[in-house]
Structure 1
Amino acid sequence: MLPELPDSPSDDSGPPAVIARGIKVRGPWGPVYGPVDLEVPAGGVNVLVCPAGSGRTALLMTIAGRMAPQSGELTVFGADDARSIFAKSALAGIDEIDTVPESVTVRDLITEQMRWDAPWFRLVRRADPAELTTVCAPVFGPLPLPPLDEYFEELSELDRLLLRIALANTKRPPLLVVGNLDFVTSDLNRDLLIERLIDLGREQTIVTATVNGVAGHDVRSQIPVANADRAELSESQKGTG
């Protein structure tokens, strides 16, 4: 059963950023998620409220264009195929996509991302404090930036997720999908994460997910999502033959 959520701010001034109608994915062992219907407004932080698991992960990957629904219709800022949606989105905090080896430094991660972003013919030197600021400051905001020579595994859980977001978001596409708020277990750090996402949401549309919803923050919308959990799908199919 989905939790009751506080009222979300409403603004019908423009078309939704994401429109899904009956999208679903099925794997070798049965349904993964769906059918899912949802609309995500443009701008701000939009929180999908549904149980954690492979279904929710797959749904977020679909919204970001990293997976195509097997049926139904999905549009993201007018794009309606996975390749075009991919070009309009960044995805962070999904272990299947952006897991970071623990024994690498912040400098190595930023250097690698800069090389991915650069034209093939450009020689990219190792990252220095200026590159650290360019990549990380928009995401970290007033929070201290991670030291260049710190190993990823030595960072706090908040800094690890913020760094993953910064690396994914260097091109600042219209849509930023962040795996889930439940990665951060400390209430204080979770509040700091949400506030950083709200700041990013002034220029992008942010989609993230959590189990229990968000209270005490000015998020754009909170959207209960049905049929995003494999157990829920199994229960709903009992007796259908």
Structure 2
Amino acid sequence: MTAPFDPVIIEAQGMSVKASWGHIYGPVDLRIRRGGVTVLVGAPGRGRTALLLTLAGRMKPTSGTLHSFGQRNRAHRLFDKSALGFVDEVDEIAQTIRVHDVLTEQCRWAQPWYKFVGQATAADLERLCRPVFGPLTLPTLDAYVEELPELTAALFRIAMANIRQPEVLVVGGVDNLNGLQSSRLMLERLIDLGSEQTVITANVNGEQPVPGITDVLEVPNLTDNEFVRLEQGDRIL
């Protein structure tokens, strides 16, 4: 018998995270429906970032429950089925490095250790970045990351994180971009990705209902402070 389809892919109940130095966020209750884009509304800071990390399986809840893919509080399971991009604490790219070098490294990581992978080509750039960039202009292979326009750099980071194209894609807040036009274009690209994946992002302001945005969820109990890495021995994976 085929298992019934569950429209909810992730559900948190009373979920909180604490570190040895104090409270980070929570308790939080939310439900992420499968497909499209879910926008979490809350102030930027360590709490919101930690929540995104938790929803990508990169951080374990300290209390409460997190149900995902039919399992309870199994961060590794969620980790395997998600990608996380445009979060400085996780995927920030060294500025003095070329697009070509980042692309080559990611292509090699995506292959078994015994398989030789040569230098990345323009075909690799097109294959791996076009799904995220859509009609927007791709960076050139020889460009330095620090020289890329803000939106181009952000989309490139998302493309590198999303090489496997897993079921869930978690993206740092669209409000991390300085320009309103850049934020709008990024959201449009995430909506396009949401036709094939479940995309989760965040914004300090709620989005207007538009096709492709599944839900806009107000998230209380976020700590509005600069994110601090958890000390070794805390609950980050």
Q: Gapped runs of 5+ residues in structure 1?
A: 1-12, 232-241
Q: How many residues align?
A: 219
Instruction: State the Cα distance separating 1:29 from its structure 2 match.
Output: 2.9
Shift >2 Å, 4+ stretches: 76-80, 215-218
Q: Work out the CA distance in 1 between the residues paired with 2:145 and 2:100.
A: 10
Q: Work out the CA distance in 2 between the residues paired with 1:113 and 1:74.
A: 30
1:131-170 mapped onto 2 (5 Å cutoff): 131-170=124-163
Matching residue within 23, 46, 53 for 1:31: 23
1:156-195 mapped onto 2 (5 Å cutoff): 156-195=149-188
Instruction: State the Cα distance separating 1:216 from its structure 2 match.
Output: 6.3
Matching residue within 48, 57, 62 for 1:65: 57
Q: Work out the CA distance in 1 between the residues paired with 2:143 and 2:207.
A: 31
Identity %: 48
Matching residue within 82, 90, 94 for 1:89: 82
Local SS of the residue matching 2:201: strand
Q: Work out the CA distance in 1 between the residues paired with 2:150 and 2:202.
A: 17
Instruction: State the Cα distance separating 1:215 from its structure 2 match.
Output: 2.6
Does the CA-based 8 Å contact 1:18-1:40 persist in structure 2? Answer: yes
Does the CA-based 8 Å contact 1:32-1:229 persist in structure 2? Answer: yes
Q: Gapped runs of 5+ residues in structure 2?
A: 226-237
Q: Work out the CA distance in 1 between the residues paired with 2:32 and 2:45.
A: 21
Does the CA-based 8 Å contact 1:93-1:178 persist in structure 2? Answer: yes
Local SS of the residue matching 2:128: helix
Matching residue within 37, 44, 48 for 2:36: 44
Matching residue within 113, 124, 139 for 1:120: 113
Residue 234 (structure 2) aligns with: none
1:198 maps to 2:191: yes
Local SS of the residue matching 1:122: coil
Counterparts in 2 of 1:150 and 1:95: CA distance versus 1, 3 Å: same
The one-letter code matched in structure 2 to 1:33 is: Y
TM-score when scaled to structure 1? 0.88
Residue 221 (structure 2) aligns with: 227
Q: Work out the CA distance in 2 between the residues paired with 1:23 and 1:230.
A: 17
Counterparts in 2 of 1:156 and 1:230: CA distance versus 1, 3 Å: closer
Does the CA-based 8 Å contact 1:57-1:179 persist in structure 2? Answer: yes
Question: Over the residues paired in the alignment, what is the CA RMSD in angstroms?
Answer: 1.3
Local SS of the residue matching 2:16: strand
The one-letter code matched in structure 2 to 1:186 is: G
The one-letter code matched in structure 2 to 1:220 is: T
Local SS of the residue matching 1:173: coil
Q: Output one character per residue of 1:162-217: Cα deviation in whole Å (capped at 9) or x when no partner.
A: 00100000111000000111121211111111110000000000000010122364
Does the CA-based 8 Å contact 2:44-2:224 persist in structure 1? Answer: no
The one-letter code matched in structure 1 to 2:59 is: M
Does the CA-based 8 Å contact 1:19-1:38 persist in structure 2? Answer: yes
Local SS of the residue matching 1:32: strand
Instruction: State the Cα distance separating 1:73 from its structure 2 match.
Output: 0.7
Instruction: State the Cα distance separating 1:79 from its structure 2 match.
Output: 3.7
